[in-house]
Amino acid sequence: MSWFSCFERPAGKHTGRLIIMACVIALGVVAGAGPGLAQTKSLNHVINLAGMQRMLTQKISKESLLVALGIDRDENLLNLEKTRTLFDRTLKGLRNGDALLGLPPTTEPEVLDQLRKVEELWPLLDTVVRNSVAGQNVTAEGIDTIVELNLPLLQATDDTVKAYNSASGGLVSMLTVALNLSGQQRMLSQKMLKEYLLIAYGYEERNNRRNLRGTIKLFDRTLQGLIKGDNDQGILRAPTPEIRARLRVVERLWDEIRPQLEPFGRAGKPDPGAIAKVAQASSLLLEEMNDAVTLYEHL
């Protein structure tokens, strides 16, 4: 069971196991864990959830754009509220601890410094999301704010993951790199949808076409590295049959989604029917990639 499923199942046909990825495991991890960072499995879990925050910044952006574009508005408003609630709870849990999420309180000064940066940015984006949910719509001004804030918040959450790795005091192994990059793939699955939707919305199309091409290329290269290994990226080949099988499922989904995204990295705008189809496929891709991350966490 993933901890996403303990707190919510996203609305719609495909009820993901995704947004709170380890609640049952969490209860075992936290009990008596103390500082937590000294134990590899506990550290992996914390890094997993800290890394998930990167993905949630992009998922919030994606869902906001789907609402603004009028794609499954009620469903995506519900998902948007759930995603912001998860980000907020996880952020508080990373600092203060949260037994159900499996998070011990953070005491490392370097981590606390990075969390403060996230905490400075988050209320600004959170206000836009709350107003959007309350008003049952995302305005053009709201999209402007989301575009302005989502990448700085993404960077701040990524820096938090790096701070946890640094605070652990251990050497960065190829397995650690694989855990981090598999978590990054979750984020990229949402980032590319955000860029695709910004193109559909008509927002800075030239920049977002370029960004979409780059995100597609990075996702594809990293996925192949996780499956086969990549010495240049320092990625370990999928270390177990279970992880390899899960990544192959991700690869099959990616092979279906990629041709639907790539043309818009050059020209054109997708129609509402195409957007709804790609958004649904992207949710499945995220769910399967999330399951792969959880398998890495438990090694």
Lookup: tokens for 79:
């998902």
pTM for the full predicted model: 0.87
Indicate whether 121 pLDDT > 80: yes
pLDDT for 16: 39
166: pLDDT confidence band, cut at 50, 70 and 90? confident
SS (H, E, C) the chain: CCHHHHHCCCCCCCCCCCCCCCHHHHHHHHCCCCCCCCCHHHHHHHHHHHHHHHHHHHHHHHHHHHHHCCCCHHHHHHHHHHHHHHHHHHHHHHHHCECCCCECCCCCHHHHHHHHHHHHHHHHHHHHHHHHHHHCCCCHHHHHHHHHHHHHHHHHHHHHHHHHHHHCCCCCCHHHHHHHHHHHHHHHHHHHHHHHHHHHHCCCHHHHHHHHHHHHHHHHHHHHHHHHCECCCCECCCCCHHHHHHHHHHHHHHHHHHHHHHHHHCCCCCCHHHHHHHHHHHHHHHHHHHHHHHHHHCC
Q: What is the pLDDT of residue 27?
A: 31
Percent of the chain with pLDDT over 90: 78
16 and 7 in contact (C-beta within 8 Å)? no
Q: Which two tokens stand for residue 246?
A: 């899960």
Q: Which of 26, 22, 29 is closest to 5 using CA atoms? A: 22
- What gap in Å lies between CA 152 and CA 168, rounded to an integer? 25
What pLDDT score was predicted for residue 43? 86
The residues near 142 (Cβ < 8 Å, ≥ 6 apart) are 64, 68, 128, 131, 132
Q: What pLDDT sits at residue 171? A: 54
Instruction: Specify the pLDDT at position 22.
Output: 34
In which domain, by residue range, is 202 found?
3-297
In contact, 196 and 215? CB cutoff 8 Å: no
Categorize the per-residue pLDDT at 176 as very low, low, confident or very high, splitting at 50, 70 and 90.
Answer: confident
Q: How confident is the model at residue 40 (pLDDT cuts 50, 70, 90)?
A: low
Contact 91, 119 (CB under 8 A): yes
In this predicted model, what pLDDT tens digit does every residue of 241-296 receive, in sequence order? 999 999 999 999 999 999 999 999 999 999 999 999 999 999 999 999 999 999 99
What percentage of residues in the chain have a pLDDT greater than 70? Answer: 85
| pLDDT band of 1, cuts 50, 70, 90 | very low
Mean pLDDT of 67-73: 97
Q: Tell me, what's the pLDDT at 24?
A: 30
Number of domains in the chain: 1
